[in-house]
Amino acid sequence: MQPKTTPEVGGMGHSMKRKEDPRFIRGKGNYVDDIVLPDMLWMDIVRSPFAHAKIKSINAEKAMKVPGVLAVITGETLAKYNLHWMPTLMSDTQMVLPTEKVMYQAQEVAAIIATSRYAAADGVDAVEVDYEPLPVVVDPFKALEPSAPVLRTDKKDKKDNRIFHWEAGDRAGTQKAFAEAEVVVKQDLYIPRIHVASIETCGCIADFDRVNGKLTVYMTTQAPHAIRTVFALVAGHVGLSEERIRIISPDIGGGFGGKVPVYPGYVIAVAASVVIGKPVKWIEDRMENLQADSFARDYHITAELAAKKDGTITALRMKTLADHGYADAAANPSKFPAGLFSICTGSYDVKKAFVEVDGVYTNKPPGGVAYRCSFRVTEAVHAIERITDVLAQQLKMDPAEIRMKNFIPKEKFPYKSVLGWEYDSGDYPRALQLAMEKIGYAALRKEQAEKRARGELMGIGICSFTEIVGAGPSKQFDILGIKMFDSCELRVHPTGKAIARFGTKSQGQGHETTYAQIIAEELGIPASAVQVEEGDTDTAPYGLGTYASRSTPTAGAAGAMAARKVREKAKKIAAHLLEVSEDDLVWETGKFSVRGAPQRSKTIQEIAFAAYTNHPQGMEAGLEAVDYYDPPNLTFPFGSYICVVDIDRGTGVVKIRRFVAVDDCGNIINPMIVDGQIHGGLTMGMAPALLEEISYDENGNIQGGSFMDYLVPTAMETPAWETGKTVTPSPHHPFGAKGVGESATVGATPAIANAVVDALAHLGVKHLDIPITPEKVWRILKEKGVAE
Amino acid sequence: MAMHTIRVTVNGTAHDAQVESRLLLVHLLRDQLRLTGTHIGCDTTHCGACTVLLDGQPVKSCTVLAVQADGRQVSTVEGLEKDGKLHPLQEGFWEKHGLQCGYCTPGMMMTSCALLARNKTPSEGEIREAISGNLCRCTGYVNIVKAVQYAAERLR
Amino acid sequence: MIPASFDYHAPGSLPEALALLSKYGDEAKVLSGGQSLLPLLKLRLGQAGHLIDIGRIPGLEYVREDGGMLRIGGRTRESVLERSELVRSKYPILVDTAKVIADPLVRNMATVGGNLAHGDPGNDHPATMLALGALVVATGPKGERVISIDQFFLGLFRTALRSDEVLTEIRIPVPPARSGGAYVKLERKVGDYATAAAAAQVTLDAKGVFERVGLALTNVGPTPIKASDAEKFLVGKRPEVATLAEAAQRASRAASPSADRRGSVEYKRDMARVLSGRALKLAVERAGGR
């Protein structure tokens, strides 16, 4: 797409260098742990070694004797202020600090406040806790058995471990379609727990100013306004009032959903600061982050497809057991306890579908949607793309062919899926075609046949996904009742420069650049002259934050709409300056000119100056606007990914030889930034496919709770990703854009899993659960007698 | 416990400090010298966000004691820019979008700095190997490689 | 990530260091590269009252040949070993090994002596040194002791090094003509310990028959494992496909791995076989055979 503006203006389509980089490349970023306040104290947390245990006693005597330790906070301390429990974003409840029992290994049990980082660590070591272990529930299926211990004994009248039942679609109609089908395939798949592990862990500095009664919290949060409101609601009874709470989200070292939830550490730090009257800093270490913070996935899915013999899919059915840990603390929109899982009909024109998800409690940390997943879209797409390949294998059809056959055709958009979503736009065959050309699909199939004859193992996997992002329209979307609009406040200065503040919060996505480019496109003010700010609730307009790829669809739209409001006023000022009627004016980037007399014009800079020095009588001075954008629909980016793998017959190691990703996110603001999102997303899609997993033994002990065993890919494990684009604009978005941050994570995992299964399909392998470790592959090779 | 008086030269400037034996070099730099460009991303020795040059060699400063750096030269990201002029690596990371959240970036640049000092024409494979002790979650490494290649060219 | 308190000493000479080790006995630990010791202390999995830093003692870092031996100073950094022209040209097995220890940053601090002295079966040099038939020089208050590598690894985190000794040198007999060695490691990702690894150092006679074979395994037992049965089997035989396969089979029988996240017992045992085969094949190629 050719940009309409010059590089100097830097509007849409320019790969302009990022405006935020100067501080990062100099090591002058401002992350939470970089901030030091006068008289600041340090907090560290004592954590439970047991997954389920009564707390018999907490002995802080030795800890209090450690030089530098000032206080030990327990659940009893917080109970005095009724702060020992707090609501979750899904209207469940979770402990801040326990008074009776712990429910997951690494749960917060007590907090140390000390004068230094090192003293706080020593204090943690010196706290003595006496536990009485209780029976542990780790298997979500066993958790549903009548004999299972009831975990949430804090909930009056709760007699089981069920959290919710959610369903969508036509159960009876789907059943009928299955009964009448020519072909039916069924596959169980488990998508294990993983952890987002951004390189910066979570933390905060809580600073309660006793004199002014104001609480300021510097926090690693992707949603500062939501946090502020939650604090006001939860702690209003101890005197915290929303106008005197300020949440500042400074530079964030990666979020990916892991910095959305309210962690107990934040609340304890706030309580400590309020009680002590000094700033309290809490920075978790990596093991705490991996073991206690919000996880993602942990879905046990049974997927079924009904089809005709020619490969036409007629119906889809999915049943899922969702392991949520001991509390439903997933950060989903409130009406969607299973997130946007019902996107699972995918890119296909499925006529009948039924989907149900049951949530269950276990003795594990709470959470659910923190790993670049778009609210469970990763799970949904993994399921549909895997079962589609299972169907293709059953029918001996090429996986590209079966997809082409079932794609929703371009002419059917906007397309209403049987599970209730209106897909805004898409051209699926084009993306798959392009991916196949770029990778040389036909030649690869030929090579595969030749290699198979020689006993070599090579696989080609496809994933054609439809994503669903931009939550969301107020009719359906809210978090704790707060609607999911987003906002922009734009003000143009007399000298024609501007400041734009947004309700979202970048953690590396480049908003300081891309949002400026949006304003530049709409107003012609160079992007370099538009100052973008986010993250300070005292100044930024209310927004729901950045996650689930929602920023461009919501806040980006708000930016465009605010700029258009500014342009409307600018037109009036221009008309006044040029002494013509508004109808006589023509806009081209950066200026209004008189129709038929183009030499008579006023630039946006001249208009801005006039807004303060020569505004029309009867009109307010100034040149600014606010927009709260309520999106009319979500946006539906899509893509086709193709992966080629080679398998070592001796060790079972899977090597990705090539990976082509063709993405369509509508109109692109900054191609270089979009590619960066794709590269990172692909890497975070590969990791769960081959390397990452968090699991628990039968005693609830976490496996994979440190970087020693939680395998984050290095540059050596990561292939040289190849990317391509198609552009199918969103018809309802102000500038035709869709979100893109998570597409690659959604699409990569199934593409890789499909490739490995494809490599082994001729041996009769139908499915492999991720992560596909070398040993899993080795076992199959041994079983099939083809190991080296 | 005994305190030690040490002198560590950081980015060319000598600093005297009184430190506990157990003080990690990364904490000396961040907390005492307020050079917060070097970051901490893990419990120990995995992520490389804390990478600095110790007598020219890239090391994980979370796995070096401050006392071990007594009398030695440390280079951090803050020392890359000279007299207001960006180092070609800093330019490369900016030009090629080699960073997103910026948290792993100082470590990546210090490691790359040492690579380019001993290998003026690194291949993609050699760059990936050199940075295999530095984790990044945002970029997928593609543009980091491009950034280092850009810098290598500028330095030749 | 913060260690408990300890005292720190930076002796300027070996006698000073040894005196400190004698003085503090079990409470003292040698700080060489620190890349195994410091993580243990930071995770509070191990304790030390006194760290004796040997980093200031001159004369402990060198790589040179003399007297028919390759001599490596105990405090030689892995990255120096990896880049040494001498090692690259004549001892590729050592380069293979150094290159897969942890990651490049750790290798700038980690030392060869530390890699042996720590007694961790997951470390990479032990198997290679076993295959090479190396000697370890331990310097104590009474002088030097030369320990055959076969007698060095006693158990999990236990070596023949006494608490009042420092590992000051590693000696490797200069291999005769028609020798070759290789180290092949399977790891889940860069920086990991071995799922399994095999070190092979062979010498062929003029007829191309195995004259000497060293074969050892990493991380498939509480100590590095010398595959003696496989070694004996090969001596006197030609390096044919079936022969190497049988040797690899025997090597895997010498392994006694524990199950963990890297793999089950069966998988690791089979990897010992696969990797032994690959290491032998590469060693034979480098020796100029087949």
Closest CA to A366 of A261, A223, A222: A261
Cα distances (Å, whole numbers) of residue C101 to A351, C33, C54, C108, C112: 55, 13, 21, 11, 10
Task: For chain A, give the mean pLDDT.
Answer: 97
Beta bridge partners of A635: A469
pLDDT: which is higher, C290 or A381: A381
Contact yes or no for A788/A650 (Cβ under 8 A): yes
User: Strands, E, within C105-257: which ranges?
Assistant: 135-140, 143-148, 153-155, 158-159, 166-173, 179-186, 196-204, 210-218, 225-226
A491: exposed, middle or buried (Cβ count in 10 Å: 0-12, 13-18, 19+):
middle
pLDDT of residue A237: 84
Cα distances (Å, whole numbers) of residue A88 to A260, A333, A367, C198: 11, 12, 9, 51
CA distance A472 to chain C (A): 39
Q: Compare CB distances from B143 to A17, A20, A679 and report the shortest one's residue.
A: A679
Instruction: Show the tokens assigned to B119.
Output: 């290998």
Task: For chain C, give the mean pLDDT.
Answer: 97
CA distance B153 to chain C (A): 23
Longest dimension (CA), chain C: 61
Least confident segment among A367-371, A677-681, A741-745 = A367-371
Q: Compare CB distances from B43 to A253, A285, A509 and report the shortest one's residue.
A: A285
Residue A572 has pLDDT above 90, yes or no: yes
Q: Compare CB distances from B45 to C7, C10, C106 and report the shortest one's residue.
A: C106
CATH 1.10.150.120 occupies which residues in chain B? 88-155
For residue A567, the SS3 value is: helix
Binned at pLDDT 50, 70 and 90, residue A239 comes out as confident
Closest CA to B139 of B91, B86, B88, B102: B102
Convert the pLDDT of each residue in A506-515 to its tens digit.
Answer: 999 999 999 9
User: What's the rounded Cα separation, in Å, for the pair A734 and A366?
Assistant: 37
Give the CATH architecture of domain B3-79: Roll (3.10)
Instruction: Show the tokens assigned to A395.
Output: 């029918």
Q: Do A34 and B36 touch (CB under 8 A)?
A: yes
Beta bridge partners of A492: A498
Q: Is the preceding peptide bond at C11 cis, omega within 30 degrees of 0?
A: no
Residue A172 has pLDDT above 80, yes or no: yes
Closest CA to A692 of A732, A645, A632, A752: A752
CA distance A33 to chain B (A): 8
B104: exposed, middle or buried (Cβ count in 10 Å: 0-12, 13-18, 19+):
buried
Q: CB under 8 Å to C37, separation ≥6 — which residues?
A: C29, C30, C31, C46, C48, C51, C114, C118
Instruction: Show the tokens assigned to A123.
Output: 């204090």
DSSP-derived secondary structure for chain B:
--EEEEEEEETTEEEEEEEETT-BHHHIIIIIS--TTS---SSSSSS-TTEEEETTEEEEGGGSBGGGGTT-EEE-GGGTSBTTB--HHHHHHHHTT--SS-SSHHHHHHHHHHHHHH-SS--HHHHHHHTTTS--SSSTTHHHHHHHHHHHHHH-
Mutate to test the interface with B, among C36, C105, C192 (most CBs of B within 10 A): C105
**Mean pLDDT to the nearest integer, A223-233:** 95
Q: Compare CB distances from B43 to A24, A706, A718 and report the shortest one's residue.
A: A706
Residue B1 has pLDDT above 70, yes or no: no
B111: exposed, middle or buried (Cβ count in 10 Å: 0-12, 13-18, 19+):
buried
Q: Residues for chain C: how many in total?
A: 290
Backbone region of residue B141 per phi and psi (left: phi > 0; alpha: psi in -120 to 50; beta: other values): left
Residue B28 has pLDDT above 80, yes or no: yes
Residue C43 has pLDDT above 80, yes or no: yes
pLDDT of residue C290: 63
pLDDT of residue B15: 98
Convert the pLDDT of each residue in B95-107 to its tens digit.
Answer: 999 999 999 999 9
User: What's the rounded Cα separation, in Å, for the pair A404 and A150?
Assistant: 48
For A120, the closest chain C residue by CA position comes to C2
Binned at pLDDT 50, 70 and 90, residue C289 comes out as confident
Contact yes or no for A514/A14 (Cβ under 8 A): no
Residue C51, chain B, CB below 8 Å: the answer is yes
Question: Residue A742 catalytic?
Answer: yes
State the DSSP H helix or E strand holding residue A322, giving kind and residue range, or none if neither.
Answer: strand A313-323
Q: Do A716 and C186 touch (CB under 8 A)?
A: no
Q: Compare CB distances from C42 to B43, B59, B129 and report the shortest one's residue.
A: B43
Q: Do C51 and B133 touch (CB under 8 A)?
A: no
Mutate to test the interface with C, among B21, B46, B73, B141 (most CBs of C within 10 A): B21
Q: Do B43 and C43 touch (CB under 8 A)?
A: yes
Q: Do B43 and C5 touch (CB under 8 A)?
A: no
DSSP-derived secondary structure for A457-500:
EEEEEEEEEE--BS---TTT-EETTEE--EEEEEEE-TTS-EEE
Residue A260 has pLDDT above 90, yes or no: yes
Among residues 89-118 of chain A, which lie with CB inside 8 Å of chain C?
A: 117-118
**Mean pLDDT to the nearest integer, B72-90:** 98
Q: Do A721 and B20 touch (CB under 8 A)?
A: no
pLDDT of residue A294: 85
pLDDT of residue A367: 87
Chain C residues within 8 A of B108 when measuring between CB atoms: none
Q: CB under 8 Å to A336, separation ≥6 — which residues?
A: A166, A375
User: What's the rounded Cα separation, in Å, for the pair C40 and B44?
Assistant: 9
pLDDT of residue A454: 97
Question: Residue A105 catalytic?
Answer: no
- Domain B88-155: CATH superfamily, name plus number: [2Fe-2S]-binding domain (1.10.150.120)
Binned at pLDDT 50, 70 and 90, residue C31 comes out as very high
Convert the pLDDT of each residue in A186-206 to its tens digit.
Answer: 999 999 999 999 999 999 999
User: What's the rounded Cα separation, in Å, for the pair B142 and B97?
Assistant: 10
User: What's the rounded Cα separation, in Å, for the pair A448 and C269?
Assistant: 31
Amino acid type, B62: C
Task: Single out the catalytic residue among A18, A297, A372, A501.
Answer: A372
Residue C4, chain B, CB below 8 Å: the answer is yes
Question: Residue A288 catalytic?
Answer: no
Residue B95, chain C, CB below 8 Å: the answer is no
Q: Give the neighbours of chain A: at least 3 Cβ pairs within 8 Å.
A: B, C
C-alpha of B53 from chain center: 6
User: What's the rounded Cα separation, in Å, for the pair A278 and A270?
Assistant: 10
User: What's the rounded Cα separation, in Å, for the pair C6 and B13?
Assistant: 29
Q: How big, in percent rounded to 5, are the helix, strand and coil portions of chain C? A: 35, 25, 35
Q: How many CB pairs under 8 A join A and C?
A: 50
Chain C residues within 8 A of B46 when measuring between CB atoms: 191
Question: Residue A304 catalytic?
Answer: no
Residue B126, chain A, CB below 8 Å: the answer is no
Residue B97, chain A, CB below 8 Å: the answer is yes
Chain C residues within 8 A of A122 when measuring between CB atoms: 2, 4-5
**Mean pLDDT to the nearest integer, A283-310:** 97
Sign of the CA dihedral C113, C119, C122, C124? positive
pLDDT of residue A680: 98
Task: Tell the residue number behind the tokens 């040194």, with chain if given.
Answer: C129
Residue A368 has pLDDT above 90, yes or no: no
Q: Give the neighbours of chain B: at least 3 Cβ pairs within 8 Å.
A: A, C
Residue A1 has pLDDT above 80, yes or no: no
